[in-house]
Structure 1
């Protein structure tokens, strides 16, 4: 029989902007989006729901986040619709002697958390899911065999053959928190398309997660076999360019997946550039800023307060610090009342000298140059100066935003890559 299910991923429950004054509203956004997906699952009477990882924004969540998650999942449980999930890099707990929130949800029967065991020689064992223990690597639902594998990092490509070797059934789905290069917008935790290809021979549908941009991967014959729905809400600035939603899938008896991408309606997120080139003083710059923002925000018809990132650009005749965040926000609020505002100041100070205009470097450029010199002074980092400079600045930005836990920062350092989605 045809099996129908919903495939979503990267929900990021618990995400907010700490100390920005919009914590409660932004926190609620992600729960509202997830509740809409659950309501659709019940309305469509699907056979099951798949979550491809990163249900939570961090592994260490607040008790109220756990309680609210149960509240949203309760209708699925009452309707008898299994919610099958794997752990992503965000909701994975690093201390394995502790019970994670995902494990707790599974033990309470709100999700079926899939996590395989390993053999002595590094192979995979997808043991049947044990509802009493709330664990296992494989579950049968609606006549389909579902295998689950959470985030395993940048070496995931080396595990594909071992995953396939452990599968002995037909009509299979793989739930896997991994990205595919050239499709995924993130730079770590990916596998190459050619590494992923053997999965198309073992699985009718590979349910991906990790990258927040939706995409579909075809096999050598052009059959779509791997699907990433992306995040159903805008988690980070830059994602306003992506479609947001989830898949409603009908898996036919012959293994063909009829998929429909259903769009969600996240709070508007805008990234705008204000060109202040030539402004002689801060007052002049603020007036120009207001005029530019009025033009660029005029097309936003959504009544919800937007999330805005403003990038200031240009050569100006005053110190960039004079345009403080408070002054810019006050000016912007005369046009639009953003729920959250981030300022990226890339202004350069212009100073006269010898009858010629001399442009001083921006603060961001000075920071990058100093870091590069410090890193390059150590011979063991030769050839990696740009990569490590970028990583250092990324870590700095994450710490200042208060958007990650210490364990996630350690994971990022050990990977040597950029922040994960």
Structure 2
């Protein structure tokens, strides 16, 4: 029975985090997946359902990576059949692309409709064609990247498929587009009904790409997901992906998702802050979380993300994120360390009953000052004292007290509250506070 490898969204040449090692991950993943699940599995052919490359303009090193991965298949007599995706398709009005170059060199066969969306048989002489009939008993049909015009293109391609001469027992088609309902916040996906004309035209296996998450539907539509994660959100726990090793038989399709090839480990950690913590306490908790993961052997050479979220009881700037990130990077020994500081300051809103009468101006001011101070863990214990001090300071300013006296009052107030916070917590009597002129507040 025919057996093939279905992969998509390789993204060779992917660059992020300014890490050359990370860019190599996509090459190593493709190379290992081909070795284990194409060469060693002795498949009849390999499908690349779009986005072999990350960019339309390919660097020499990236092109060399593609050749190093695909040449062993060529030498083993295993044909590689590919289509262009949205990342590597040729721009409108141009006649060539790097996938076309690879096709002209015989490294792969780029299957695509002609300029009128017609499907012509593959020609080794012309190195072009829209479909190919393989000796293993499979007809493979190509397509191109259609974007928003995909539903109309599918309807036309279905008509073209029905017009083809009778071929092998099985028909496989590659199409680079997403199916709705597979990932959130993706409005460009197609409905199942949009793909249905291809099934009615005789397609037994629809090989999709584009969405980096694995899914299948009705044992007919298959998407393996990206070979390697393009972001931390594509880690295997939350976003399963891999390559499909497929067997076709009169009994149907048997597709196994393979994930046991070389991939960079991704560790995502979450830390919820407590508004009663100081900045120093939150920093120590972050360090402890990374130390625990490191002790378990999860973080070394991995991509590690720590997200700090929740409410904090201090100014966001009190936590030195740059220094903390550097320390956690060293502690984890990660290839790439990402620190997301999403915590927000907690806002207190004191309820004031206004059914009987409106509060006085003094009551409103006292409430506002209290909310600001109680929201900050550094001032919470001495908030009552500081509120009274702020009210007194406002009165002094309105009375045009000399500036040096105002500064003296503030210094005395802060000294008294600091002393109170270090003592047994007893409240400071503002009547005992004197300003720099010797007058009582």
Q: Does TM-score exceed 0.5, indicating one fold? A: yes
Partner Cα distance (2:328, 2:371) in 1: 35
User: Using a 3 Å threshold, how does the CA distance of structure 1 residues 187 and 325 change in structure 2: closer, same or farther?
Assistant: same
Partner Cα distance (2:132, 2:244) in 1: 20
Cα deviation code 1:129-186 (max 9, x no counterpart): 2334432211122231111113211332233221110013453111111111113567
Report SS of the residue matched to 2:103. helix
Counterpart of 2:220 (choices 218, 225, 237) is: 225
Partner Cα distance (1:49, 1:95) in 2: 27
Counterpart of 2:154 (choices 155, 160, 172) is: 160
User: Using a 3 Å threshold, how does the CA distance of structure 1 residues 296 and 278 change in structure 2: closer, same or farther?
Assistant: farther
Does residue 210 of structure 1 match 2:210?
yes
Q: How does 1:360-371 map to 2 (within 5 A)?
A: none
Counterpart of 1:127 (choices 120, 125, 132) is: 120
User: Using a 3 Å threshold, how does the CA distance of structure 1 residues 77 and 175 change in structure 2: closer, same or farther?
Assistant: same
User: Using a 3 Å threshold, how does the CA distance of structure 1 residues 278 and 78 change in structure 2: closer, same or farther?
Assistant: same
Q: How does 1:274-313 map to 2 (within 5 A)?
A: 274-278=271-275, 281-295=278-292, 299=296, 301-302=297-298, 304-313=300-309
Q: Which has the larger radius of gyration?
A: 2
Deviation at 1:350, TM superposition (A): 4.7
Cα deviation code 1:82-128 (max 9, x no counterpart): 10011111122325426311111111111111111243xxxx30122
Bigger Cα displacement from structure 2, 334-343 vs 65-74:
334-343
Does residue 344 of structure 1 match 2:340?
yes
Partner Cα distance (2:318, 2:110) in 1: 52
Q: How does 1:188-267 map to 2 (within 5 A)?
A: 188-201=187-200, 202-218=202-218, 224-240=219-235, 241-252=238-249, 254=250, 256-265=252-261, 266-267=263-264
Partner Cα distance (2:318, 2:89) in 1: 42
TM-score scaled by length of structure 1: 0.75
Counterpart for residue 315 of structure 1: 311
Partner Cα distance (2:328, 2:27) in 1: 28
**Contact kept in structure 1, 2:329 and 2:337, CA below 8 Å:** no
Report SS of the residue matched to 1:11. coil
Counterpart for residue 136 of structure 1: 129
Partner Cα distance (2:251, 2:113) in 1: 24
Partner Cα distance (1:127, 1:184) in 2: 35
Partner Cα distance (1:62, 1:235) in 2: 19
Deviation at 1:188, TM superposition (A): 4.4
Partner Cα distance (2:185, 2:205) in 1: 22
Higher strand proportion: 1
Cα deviation code 1:185-237 (max 9, x no counterpart): 6714421012222322320111111111111111xxxxx11111111221212
Report SS of the residue matched to 1:73. helix
Partner Cα distance (2:298, 2:228) in 1: 15
**Contact kept in structure 2, 1:248 and 1:260, CA below 8 Å:** yes
Cα deviation code 1:5-55 (max 9, x no counterpart): 111111111113243xxx221111111110112213111221100011111
**Unmatched tracts of structure 1, length 5 or more:** 219-223, 361-421
Partner Cα distance (2:300, 2:277) in 1: 35
User: Using a 3 Å threshold, how does the CA distance of structure 1 residues 156 and 129 change in structure 2: closer, same or farther?
Assistant: same
Report SS of the residue matched to 2:5. strand
Partner Cα distance (2:294, 2:187) in 1: 34
**Contact kept in structure 2, 1:267 and 1:304, CA below 8 Å:** no
Report SS of the residue matched to 1:230. coil
Cα deviation code 1:324-363 (max 9, x no counterpart): 5531223313531121123332222357842125879xxx
Bigger Cα displacement from structure 2, 202-211 vs 309-318:
309-318
Bigger Cα displacement from structure 2, 40-49 vs 280-289:
280-289
Report SS of the residue matched to 2:232. coil
Report SS of the residue matched to 1:243. coil
**Unmatched tracts of structure 2, length 5 or more:** 349-367, 377-441
Counterpart of 1:117 (choices 114, 119, 137) is: 114
Does residue 147 of structure 1 match 2:162?
no
Partner Cα distance (1:172, 1:236) in 2: 34
Does residue 88 of structure 1 match 2:81?
no
Partner Cα distance (1:279, 1:44) in 2: 58
Partner Cα distance (1:76, 1:304) in 2: 33
**Contact kept in structure 1, 2:294 and 2:300, CA below 8 Å:** no
